[in-house]
Structure 1
Amino acid sequence: MILRGLGHFCPVLYCVAEGVFLVTSCRSPWATLPLLLSLLATVHPATARGSADEIAALRQSQVESNRELERLRDNLVILEGRVLDQQKQLNDLRGNLALLRSGSADKIPLPAGALPHEAYLRAFGDYAAGRYPQAIIGLEAFIAANPTNEYAGNAQYWLGDCYFLQQQYALAVAEFRKVMHNYPAAPKAPDALLKSASALQALNLHDQAREALETLSSRYPNSAAAQKIRQKN
Structure 2
Amino acid sequence: MLKRAIALMCCIAVPAVEAQVRVVDSSPQNVRSGVSRQQESIEQKTESYNQIQSLLQEVSELRALVEEQGHEISRLKQLQLDNYVDLDRRVSFLTNNVKSKSLDAASSESSSSEESSAPAPLSNGMSEADEYKAAYDLLRQRQVDQSLVAFKEYLKKYPSGEFAANSCYWQGEIYLLKNQLPQAREWFAKLLQDFPDSNKVPDAKFKLGKVYHLQGDKKRAKPLLDDAASGVGDSARLAKQYLKDNF
In terms of fraction of residues, the more strand-rich structure is 1
In terms of fraction of residues, the more helix-rich structure is 2
TM-score (norm 2): 0.47
State the structure with more CA Rg. Answer: 2
